[in-house]
Amino acid sequence: MISKSALIKSKAQSALEHIWKHLLNALSGNFEVQIQQVHDRSGKAYWKIYDPATGYYNSLSSETEVRIWLEQRYSL
């Protein structure tokens, strides 16, 4: 079992990494959509998506949902 302090430290580190990525993207002018496949504690995959051009961030449960979002994003 993960201790409460380790969980808090992990979440804080994740938040700092998230902020750092956004800062680097803003400074570099990188506006490419970012998609990351991650796994929850039970091993189930899900996808984190981020669009730096709009600031949109979401977690999607399937690759199909990611594809649909991408198609909608680029059809505008």
Residues 37 and 20 in one domain: no
Residues 41 and 13 in one domain: no
Residues 50 and 19 in one domain: no
Residues 25 and 43 in one domain: no
Residue type at 26 in one-letter notation? A
Identity of the highest mean pLDDT range in 6-10, 20-24, 55-59: 55-59
User: What strands, in cross-sheet order, belong to the sheet with 34-39?
Assistant: 34-39, 45-51, 56-60
Residues 25 and 1 in one domain: yes
pLDDT of residue 25: 67
Domain hosting residue 49, numbered range: 31-76
> Following DSSP, what letter does each residue of 2-51 receive, concatenated?
--HHHHHHHHHHHHHHHHHHHHHHHHHT----EEEEEE-TT--EEEEEEE
Q: How many domains does the chain have?
A: 2
This prediction's pTM:
0.60
Residues 41 and 76 in one domain: yes
Rg (CA), the chain: 15
Nearest to 34 by CA among 44, 17, 22: 22
Residues 36 and 46 in one domain: yes
pLDDT of residue 1: 66
Average pLDDT along the chain: 86
Residues 63 and 36 in one domain: yes
